[in-house]
Amino acid sequence: MPEVRFLPLRPLALASLVANVALVVTGAAVRLTGSGLGCPTWPRCTDTSYTTTAEMGVHGVIEFGNRLLTFALGIIAVACVIAALLEKPRRRSRVLLALAVLLYIPLQAVVGGITVLTDLNPWVVGVHFLISIVIIAFAYALWRRAAEGDGPPVQLVPRPLRHLVWILSTVSAAVIALGVVVTGSGPHAGDLDAKRNGLDPAAISQAHADVVFLLLGLTLALVFALRAVNAPRATVRAAVVLLAVELAQGLIGFVQYFTHLPVLLVGAHMLGAALVWTSTLAVIWSLRSRPDVPAAVEAPAEPSPTVAAEEPVPAPR
């Protein structure tokens, strides 16, 4: 049965992915400009208004703008769910992924409200960021799944390399989580009076750097291993892109540390964290393909007895 699409799911899924990465950047802008309490309460912006007021100045505009982006994410997520439901034939996996993105957005908003109500507690702020990482994973999976067929997955690399990728992915997640802890121990808290997590910034930064080096080593090993087994070009390219993004992100991290965390570099590093994660996801999805289900081939019809009986019979000699 040919597939009928009433709404273009794949472009919508890509819009959801891009918008969720943008939310990471705007969230960084809120923190780096000291606008974390630009709207000092939640769900309202002030005790009497749901929107920012002139008295709140630029900090109120920045914080309220970040809140508005959440509504945009919700609208795109609803459109993705509708598109997935209207597909003919309907794919259960696409519907579930679209619902996952949609359901996590209200959770993200609630945790964002808790960060305000707790005066930017660094641990709550960290959870707020990590939820974005989870949503990005679902949005990326939806985007890739929207282009796949319904046939059984075809593995493109040997099992040991797939295990290596899953180890690499775990380390990638650990790098991001440790980066959150580093952020909670340093400056740029989002408000001058916001508390820090009390950990030693130098010690946490060193632990973070150690795990980054481990991630770089695993990625470099993966690139060589994929070339050694003549893996598909797309898989090798995904690993090379991940390595390049990691190197760029590592360079930004070291420069920002030794230049005492300038705002622009910290913002670029936040964007880099989202890009490292999406590049990691790209490597995971490049390990297999999922073609369309081949159409059933009809067997040639056998001649009926009637037709056989009508064949000419040789005359007797």
Q: Which of 150, 185, 214 is the last residue of a domain?
A: 150
Residues 213 and 134 in one domain: no
Q: Residue 244 has what pLDDT?
A: 97
Q: Which one-letter amino acid corresponds to residue 149?
A: G
Residues 200 and 243 in one domain: yes
Residues 135 and 180 in one domain: no
Residue 3 has pLDDT above 70, yes or no: no
Higher pLDDT, residue 32 or 216: 216
Residues 129 and 180 in one domain: no
Q: Residue 42 has what pLDDT?
A: 87
Residues 115 and 199 in one domain: no
Residues 130 and 27 in one domain: yes
Residues 97 and 40 in one domain: yes
- Convert the pLDDT of each residue in 172-195 to its tens digit: 999 999 999 998 888 877 777 788
Residue 265 lies in a domain: yes
Q: Which one-letter amino acid corresponds to residue 309?
A: A
Residue 301 has pLDDT above 70, yes or no: no
**pTM exceeds 0.85, yes or no:** yes
Residue range(s) defining the domain that contains residue 229: 153-291
Q: Residue 94 has what pLDDT?
A: 95
Question: 4-8, 236-240, 253-257 — which is least confidently predicted?
Answer: 4-8
Higher pLDDT, residue 291 or 268: 268
- Convert the pLDDT of each residue in 209-244 to its tens digit: 999 999 999 999 999 999 999 999 999 999 999 999
Rounded to an integer, the average pLDDT of 20-34 is 90
Average pLDDT over the chain, rounded to an integer = 88
Higher pLDDT, residue 218 or 148: 218
Residues 202 and 158 in one domain: yes
CA atoms of 101 and 91, how far apart (whole Å): 16
Q: Residue 125 has what pLDDT?
A: 92
Q: Which of 150, 172, 194 is the last residue of a domain?
A: 150
Rounded to an integer, the average pLDDT of 118-145 is 94
CA atoms of 22 and 239, how far apart (whole Å): 24
Residue 317 lies in a domain: no
Residues 15 and 79 in one domain: yes
Contacts within 8 Å (CB) and 24+ apart, 60-67: 60/35, 62/29, 62/30, 62/33, 62/35, 62/38, 63/30, 63/35, 63/36, 63/37, 63/38, 63/39, 64/38, 64/39, 65/26, 66/23, 66/26, 66/27, 66/29, 66/30, 67/39, 67/109, 67/112
The answer for 42, left when phi > 0, alpha when psi is -120 to 50, beta otherwise, is: beta
What's the DSSP call for residue 54?
A: G
Q: Which one, of 84, 98, 76, 95, lies nearest residue 22 by Cα?
A: 76
Residue 306 host element (H or E): helix 305-309
Residues 162 and 146 in one domain: no
- Convert the pLDDT of each residue in 68-98 to its tens digit: 899 999 999 999 999 999 998 889 999 999 9
Question: 5-9, 156-160, 231-235 — which is least confidently predicted?
Answer: 5-9
Residues 158 and 228 in one domain: yes
CA atoms of 48 and 177, how far apart (whole Å): 37
Residue 300 lies in a domain: no
Rounded to an integer, the average pLDDT of 129-146 is 96
Q: Which of 128, 150, 172 is the last residue of a domain?
A: 150
Residues 123 and 241 in one domain: no
Residue 309 lies in a domain: no
| Location of structure tokens 């945009």 | 72
Total domains present in the chain: 2
CA atoms of 245 and 241, how far apart (whole Å): 6
Cβ neighbour number for residue 153 with a 10 Å cutoff: 11
- Convert the pLDDT of each residue in 257-266 to its tens digit: 889 889 899 9
Residue 135 lies in a domain: yes
Residue 306 has pLDDT above 70, yes or no: no
Q: Residue 238 has what pLDDT?
A: 97
Rounded to an integer, the average pLDDT of 110-117 is 92
Q: Compute and round to an integer the Cα radius of gyration of the chain.
A: 26
Question: 46-50, 90-94, 134-138, 197-201 — which is least confidently predicted?
Answer: 46-50
Residue 229 lies in a domain: yes
Residue 308 lies in a domain: no
